[in-house]
Structure 1
Amino acid sequence: MVLNKWLIFALLFSGSICLGQNSTKKIPLSEVIITLEKQFNIKFSYAVEDVANISIEKPKVTFTLKETIDFLNSKTLLNFKALDDRYVTVSVLNKAISVCGIVFSDDMKSLLVGASIFVNNIGRSTLTDRNGTFKLQNIPINATLTISYMGFESKLISAYELFSAQNNCKEIVLPTKNEELNQVLINVYLTPGLQKYLDGSTVLNTKKFGILPGLIEPDILQSVQVLPGVESTNESIANINVRGGTNDQNLVLWDNIKMYHSGHFFGLISPYNPNLTNKVIVSKNGTSAEYSDGVSSTINMHTKDVVTNTFSGGAGINSISAETYLEIPITKKLELHISGRRSITDLLKSPTYTKYFERSFQDTEINADSDQHDTSSDFYFYDYTAKLLFDLNEKHQFRANIIGINNALDYSERRINTTQTQSKTSNLSQKNIGYGGNWKAQWNSKLSSNFITYFSRYNIDATDYRVETDQRLTEANEVLETGAKINTNYKKNDHLNLLFGYQFNETGMLNQTTVSAPFFSSTKKDVLLNHALFSEVEFNNDKTYLRVGMRLNYFQKFEKLLVEPRINIRQKLSNLFAIKLEGEFKNQSTTQIVDFEDDFLGVEKRRWVLVNDKDIPIATSKQGSFGMEFNKNKLNIEATAFYKIVDGITASNQGFYNRFQYETANGSYTAKGLEFLANKTARQYSVWVSYTFSTNNYEFDTFTPSTFPNNVDIRHSVSLGFNYDITKNLKVAVGGVLRNGQPFTKPIDNNETVINGNNTLVNYDSPNSENLDNFIRLDASLNYHFNLSESIKASFTAGVINITNQDNIINRYYKVNPNDSKDAIQVDNKSLGLTPNISFRVNF
């Protein structure tokens, strides 16, 4: 095995080992060799780099040649061997050793529990225990280890350097990342891999992710729904409601690229491959001034960002899809990370696929079954990512990213009557592709900067041919966004950090509809430019965390300036109690509207549009929250009260199924409530229960009544979960959700329809005055991991959603009975029934 010079330097650095002798003055080994060659009239044969940087004690002049060689062998990890009386060879030993270390934060006050220790090139890894200690046995003496921990700089260290500590575990210090003062508050939050930061944001570390009920992999957008205050009224990641907001009010970033795609299988599966995702930060309030354009939350995903010089990867398959990822070192400074995933649903119709298909396409033109005609469908999805990492030197890093997401559906329908056969073909395509790059620069120990640029493109296109009317309908929605941002961080000291920055965005949107027979075409394009300046101060010591910021947003088209203050405070009152205060103003210039029921075959009923500051105003939010925390012996209890007002929403954005369904109006909603979480973690288990109480009401001045419950007004929501490590390799998770059914509007009894001109409409009663039955679901997962070899790890995971096969109704609306226009037909959309899934994957 050929060793690189840097590896040999790390291997042999620190010189020789003193075996039970008192240290004396050491001299370079190269000088010792020259002296010995003269003393014994011999010649040493060696590579210069093998002896470089090694210093030892000088052998006694009374030693014979054999005693001298024995002495050299005892003082170094080199092999000195006399071939004859004239020549001595010198080579590097290649043997297995045992090492240990203790990992500290850079202030030497905190042991880093759960830090990752990875042995490069052979694939072995471990984690530090509760004492910050790790041990590894039988690893090559020439191996290099990577020590990493979230929020800290990774460090490379040679096995020999650890071994040279002899009976003592070497202390390893990881420096805090210069741009972060925000430290981890709770290392294990609900399950391993979920952590909580001091600023209240939640961090999902997919590499360390444990197991959550019902999930077979760390699905990013499914996982965040275990957090209090985060719901999905229709159990879809395409409809995540954070503190009463709609899904389009969540800012979703993937490596700083803004994403507009909702999800695979039209909302049931996260479109973001978790295997190269290093962390996901979810912020509900008190967001950094660096971010805007998401009035409900920010979901910020980061992929692995460290050049490890280690080839690794993995692959997996489940009942829906197959995926793989690779981390490929190209040079010492250049590395490529790639991932890909594709559904197998067009090849294998598994029971999981059948359940997902029925759930996704119910109440649409795409029907899973029909007794009156033959149907067939071809559905598939895929996603891919690639990231190029280049470290010019220790102070300058360059990154380039690409992400692609695609859903495609082809549907054919054949109707046979007594005289002819009619056929119909429809297709739907939904894509999102993003490109990004950034340059991180550390100008000195205090000043750093990060220049970010990205391009995002979202398209959804549908073609629907209707045989009955010989009519073809085509629809298109396109979003093009280009952005650039520069962040400058000045770390005054270990407690104080200053941030200054500028951001520019250009967003363009197109909406197009074309109908044949009779011909109709509508095309609308809009472009919006946005400039923003932001600044904040972040302070952190043992008791106080403070982040205060300000963001100035200027909309060039409207000549409008919006000022957004931000505040985030956490104060420890004692070792057990702390209080927190968060507040923010935010705005949003993009939104989704529901045009009509058969938009995009009825599968996707939402279109992205830009604000025009008239009938679609800029949405703004004001939010404040106050909470208390208790933390002792890994028991975490927290309660947070929040109050949020979002102004500038539109009736078309809310997707009303009531008398306001076709109205145009602007309004607001007010959400207020209380979030509670109790979580106890131990070495083998984690148990939690969360409860959210909230009220959420609309206010539209032009409507009667002007105030009524929000479509996602879920008053009470309880979730609980339990993770248990049965053995070291076997884990189980069980959990459930119980919440109120969402509001709906029923027709007026005995007067269910009304004639409006040439149209007959449902005659709705008071809006959202009724509630569906309670939603209840119990899920479970089982994970078993094992080693196929020393460098290849495997895992098998089984999950079941809705174990009890509960018949949950998640939406209800009414439509006019085509056979009797005086009656209204009730339409119920149902959640997933009992849905099993399994996965198998390997990592190397």
Structure 2
Amino acid sequence: MMLNKWLVYLLLCIGSICYGQNTAKKTALTEVIVSIEKQFDIKFSYAVEDIAAIAIEKPNPSFTLQETIDYLNSKTLLNFKALDNRYITVSVINKTISVCGIVLSNEKKTPLIGASVVVNDIGRSVITNENGKFNLPNIPINATLTISYLGFESRQLAAKELFSAQNNCKEIILSTKNEELNQVLINVYLTPGLQKYLDGSTVLNTKKFGILPGLIEPDILQSIQALPGVESTNESIANINVRGGTNDQNLVLWDNIKMYHSGHFFGLISAYNPNLTNKVIVSKNGTSAEYSDGVSSTINMQTKDDVATVFSGGGGINLISADAFLEIPITKKLELHISGRRSITDLFKSPTYTKYFERSFQDTEINADSNQKNTSSDFYFYDYTAKLLFDLNEKHQFRANIIGINNALDYSERNTSNSNETESKVSTLSQKNIGYGGNWKAQWSPKLSTNLITYFSRYNINATDLREETDQRLTEANEVLETGTKLNTQYKTNDNLNFLFGYQFNETGMLNQTTVSAPFYSSTKKDVLLNQALFSEVEYNKNNTYLRVGLRLNYFQKFEKLLVEPRINIRQKLSNEFALKLEGEFKNQSTTQIVDFEDNFLGVEKRRWVLVNDKDIPIATSKQGSFGVEFNQNKLNIEATGFYKIVDGITASNQGFYNSFQFNNANGSYIAKGLEFLANKTAYQYSVWVSYTFSKNDYEFDTFTPSTFPNNVDIRHSVSLGFYYNIFKNLKIAVGGIWRNGQPYTKPIEGKETIQKGNTTMVNYDSPNSETLADFMRLDASLNYNFNLSQFIKASFTVGVINATNQDNVINRYYKVNPNDSNDAVQVNNKSLGLTPNISFRVNF
């Protein structure tokens, strides 16, 4: 027993000695120099500011003078040089040094792949490799580095702290942000910059974005189409179909402003400039109780929200548009972000523009190749954003935003008759969406915070069509005015439990106006709807369990109606590899779009927003549930999810029917159910993935015969696969393909293709959506090269090709009465983009 005590005592003593050896005390260099001066009776000559912040271990007293000088040179970034036996000079070795570090998370110290490391004031940056490591040569000795990663608190470190002359990289620990329990589940999801959160949402970080097939910029509305359950049946990013929903069933937010328009060039180009967008969160199910509307999905875009002290910016040009952005620090607490983009299509008709123009205006009156008419068209678009960031102090932050989107089409037509008289007509189509927003974030205590949000959104579409054959002018206008206020209150009892309480108020007004001359007709309809909501949820995240349960109460004053919407989101980890996922939600939507068909304006389809009236246009409601299994090991991620969704309160007029119900008014529903699968293997240099969706989607309209038939976007089988590879440090390539079943369509009754109704001849359609188009196939590719134009300016060159094999895809088919034979129906095929190249050149500083 006594022996054991002595052994313990001996081990403690040895441990103390070892500990003492490993934690030798460092002394200020100024004190070390004074000691050496006394020891060797010498004098050091130096600038006080060069050594003021340096501390080292004292040299061995047995060292000679030369050994002491060598020791000082090895332990500092200074040059100690003996002029003679009496004087020693001290100077800075270099104005630049090499630094390195290893960035780790505070939980389990796992490497953070793709973390951003920026050298302040000079704009140089790098991202960490698969081990979380980075190296930066030739950095100013007095520089400061900022290390950041999505979902983690940023850190600033002096370059001297990361000096790597001893080839011993310092570990840099980043802590998860206190305001977010939604920790990152998968760091690299398909490609760098795409991530997955614990709640199942997909996050795009545009600053760290790698490359996806066919893309030349990090466009979220294009990127999410690689995910299972997300389609665009007509290739339009403004027509994203999430689990069988229509495009107007997606809630689109830009810095908390609700947007009613999302695409340029009739949906072929995103209307949101990604260069100032910090992250985009896409949720298909299990949405937070904070959000309503969008019975299909929520697309939440957030711009950079931190006040920086470094002036930066960039610009770029491609074969469609040019853009620029600036981040301008005004003071240490005030910063301005601005961006702008404009098409160059009215100045330069590139091959890309030609392909987009042909795709957008096929089978319309806009036909520049007509032999009978002299026509011209002028199409352009632009968008702009601005954000003012002000930090009053550490507890109070104020933000103000503005975004503007504009599309304009002018079409002129001159027709020369047999009598050599020239008649002309001019038609215009304009779409605009402008939004203003602001918010006040307050951190009242470490546990209590609030966020007051307010916004105003205005959407306009105006069309004027002069029909020379009837000398008739058709004018249409659609306007949406919406104001909203939301107050979120968060309370954290600890790091694992978060409570959210909130209130939201919205006022939405809509105008629909139609005017026709000869004979004169005018119709103006205005509607206003007030909506109030209370919401609350609890979020828990500890060990292997993630849980978010919420409830939202929506009250519509006009209809005296209360809608109760529960939400649930659970993820339970069964082992290091397997997890189960359960999501569910009730949601509602009080706005919808009415589709205007091809004969309304030059053959170009328009969509008009209308408000619900709880009668012929009811409030749309959805109930959705999904259950999935996840496997994640060695950067191999496999997911399988089954879902069931029912959306009630849809109208026939907002589905865009090309069948016997085309002009009918009726209310109905659709049920979408299916299975989604995704397999993704990632590494530092590559990522390969395949996604598959099986879905069955049927309408149900009780007043129609038949009452049940396939949905317009009923795509039974859909496969997406892709490959991303980092060939060299600055050279990346991505190749991918899409295959899916063709969408349903309705053909006329054979032998009796038209029918007479009063004085109107119409297509006599067969059973609705009983036929399907040929399968859709497309192969895309992109190549990206990054390089430095100077120490402060970075550049990138990207080439993208959509439909590289020039596949002839029919994406929609409908019929119209043959103008030369009223007993015959003419088949009209809308085709997808053919081989469409694009090139982008960008600089950032």
TM-score by length of 1: 0.91
Moved more, 386-395 or 731-740: 386-395
Q: Distance in 2 between matches of 1:449 and 1:27?
A: 45
Q: Distance in 2 between matches of 1:551 and 1:721?
A: 39
2:555 — aligned with what?
Answer: 554
Structure 2 counterpart of 1:323, one-letter code: D
1:721 paired to 2:726: no
1:761 paired to 2:762: yes
394 and 809 in structure 1: CA distance in 2 versus 1, 3 angstrom threshold: same
Local SS of the residue matching 1:238: coil
2:738 — aligned with what?
Answer: 737
Structure 2 counterpart of 1:194, one-letter code: L
266 and 52 in structure 1: CA distance in 2 versus 1, 3 angstrom threshold: same
Moved more, 537-546 or 659-668: 537-546
Structure 2 counterpart of 1:229, one-letter code: G
Identity of paired residues, percent?
Answer: 82
1:113 paired to 2:113: yes
88 and 450 in structure 1: CA distance in 2 versus 1, 3 angstrom threshold: farther
1:478 — aligned with what?
Answer: 479
Structure 2 counterpart of 1:169, one-letter code: C
Structure 1 counterpart of 2:795, one-letter code: A
Q: Distance in 1 between matches of 2:170 and 2:46?
A: 33
Deviation at 1:739?
A: 0.9
Q: Distance in 1 between matches of 2:363 and 2:338?
A: 38
1:456 — aligned with what?
Answer: 457
**1:284-363 alignment, distance < 5 Å:** 284-363=284-363
Q: Distance in 1 between matches of 2:104 and 2:80?
A: 37
Structure 1 counterpart of 2:99, one-letter code: V
Moved more, 547-556 or 465-474: 465-474
Q: Distance in 2 between matches of 1:28 and 1:142?
A: 18
- The superposition leaves residues 229-285 of structure 1 with CA deviations (integer Å, 9 ceiling, x where unpaired) of 000110111211000000000001111111111300011000111111111111100
Deviation at 1:103?
A: 2.1
Moved more, 175-184 or 547-556: 175-184
Structure 2 counterpart of 1:820, one-letter code: D
Moved more, 468-477 or 69-78: 69-78
Conserved? CA contact 1:430–1:459, under 8 Å:
yes
1:521 — aligned with what?
Answer: 522
**1:58-207 alignment, distance < 5 Å:** 95-107=95-107, 109-163=109-163, 168-207=168-207
Deviation at 1:21?
A: 12
1:469 — aligned with what?
Answer: 470
Q: Distance in 1 between matches of 2:396 and 2:30?
A: 35
1:488 — aligned with what?
Answer: 489
Q: Distance in 2 between matches of 1:57 and 1:617?
A: 77
Q: Distance in 2 between matches of 1:76 and 1:488?
A: 50
- The superposition leaves residues 153-180 of structure 1 with CA deviations (integer Å, 9 ceiling, x where unpaired) of 2222221233399664333232222221
600 and 54 in structure 1: CA distance in 2 versus 1, 3 angstrom threshold: farther
Conserved? CA contact 1:102–1:133, under 8 Å:
yes
Q: Distance in 2 between matches of 1:843 and 1:248?
A: 35
30 and 265 in structure 1: CA distance in 2 versus 1, 3 angstrom threshold: farther
Local SS of the residue matching 2:360: helix
Conserved? CA contact 2:114–2:192, under 8 Å:
no
Conserved? CA contact 1:276–1:303, under 8 Å:
yes
Conserved? CA contact 2:96–2:138, under 8 Å:
yes
Deviation at 1:75?
A: 8.7
Local SS of the residue matching 1:161: helix
Structure 2 counterpart of 1:193, one-letter code: G
Q: Distance in 2 between matches of 1:21 and 1:574?
A: 38
Local SS of the residue matching 2:723: strand
Structure 2 counterpart of 1:387, one-letter code: K
1:7 — aligned with what?
Answer: none
1:820 — aligned with what?
Answer: 821
Deviation at 1:367?
A: 2.5
Conserved? CA contact 1:266–1:604, under 8 Å:
no
Local SS of the residue matching 1:551: strand
Q: Distance in 2 between matches of 1:266 and 1:387?
A: 27
Conserved? CA contact 2:32–2:58, under 8 Å:
no
Structure 1 counterpart of 2:234, one-letter code: N
**1:489-638 alignment, distance < 5 Å:** 489-638=490-639
558 and 51 in structure 1: CA distance in 2 versus 1, 3 angstrom threshold: farther
Conserved? CA contact 1:746–1:814, under 8 Å:
yes
Q: Distance in 1 between matches of 2:166 and 2:534?
A: 54
Q: Distance in 2 between matches of 1:838 and 1:459?
A: 32
Conserved? CA contact 2:129–2:684, under 8 Å:
no
795 and 699 in structure 1: CA distance in 2 versus 1, 3 angstrom threshold: same
Local SS of the residue matching 2:263: coil
2:675 — aligned with what?
Answer: 674
Structure 2 counterpart of 1:237, one-letter code: I
Deviation at 1:613?
A: 0.8
Q: Distance in 2 between matches of 1:310 and 1:561?
A: 49
Q: Distance in 1 between matches of 2:752 and 2:70?
A: 105
Q: Distance in 2 between matches of 1:298 and 1:392?
A: 31
Conserved? CA contact 2:98–2:165, under 8 Å:
no
Conserved? CA contact 2:178–2:495, under 8 Å:
no
Q: Distance in 2 between matches of 1:21 and 1:542?
A: 34
1:800 — aligned with what?
Answer: 801
Deviation at 1:90?
A: 11
Structure 2 counterpart of 1:188, one-letter code: V
Local SS of the residue matching 1:353: helix
1:259 paired to 2:259: yes
Unaligned runs of 5+ in 1: 1-19
Structure 2 counterpart of 1:288, one-letter code: S
Q: Distance in 1 between matches of 2:673 and 2:737?
A: 24
RMSD: 3.3
71 and 577 in structure 1: CA distance in 2 versus 1, 3 angstrom threshold: closer
Deviation at 1:107?
A: 3.6
Conserved? CA contact 1:236–1:268, under 8 Å:
yes
Q: Distance in 2 between matches of 1:280 and 1:462?
A: 32
- The superposition leaves residues 312-364 of structure 1 with CA deviations (integer Å, 9 ceiling, x where unpaired) of 22211111111111222222222222111111100111111011001111233
2:3 — aligned with what?
Answer: none
Q: Distance in 1 between matches of 2:453 and 2:248?
A: 23
**1:660-699 alignment, distance < 5 Å:** 660-699=661-700
Q: Distance in 2 between matches of 1:231 and 1:377?
A: 31
692 and 714 in structure 1: CA distance in 2 versus 1, 3 angstrom threshold: same
Q: Distance in 1 between matches of 2:407 and 2:804?
A: 28
692 and 70 in structure 1: CA distance in 2 versus 1, 3 angstrom threshold: closer
Q: Distance in 1 between matches of 2:232 and 2:364?
A: 20
Conserved? CA contact 2:33–2:44, under 8 Å:
no
Local SS of the residue matching 2:632: strand
- The superposition leaves residues 500-544 of structure 1 with CA deviations (integer Å, 9 ceiling, x where unpaired) of 111111111111111122221111111111111111111112311
TM-score by length of 2: 0.91
Conserved? CA contact 1:314–1:843, under 8 Å:
yes
Structure 2 counterpart of 1:688, one-letter code: W
2:282 — aligned with what?
Answer: 282
Local SS of the residue matching 2:653: helix
Deviation at 1:194?
A: 1.1
Moved more, 160-169 or 556-565: 160-169
- The superposition leaves residues 612-641 of structure 1 with CA deviations (integer Å, 9 ceiling, x where unpaired) of 111111100000001111112211111110
Q: Distance in 1 between matches of 2:159 and 2:343?
A: 42
Q: Distance in 2 between matches of 1:133 and 1:757?
A: 76
Unaligned runs of 5+ in 2: 1-20
Deviation at 1:70?
A: 12
Q: Distance in 1 between matches of 2:190 and 2:70?
A: 57
The count of aligned residue pairs is 823
Q: Distance in 2 between matches of 1:88 and 1:434?
A: 66
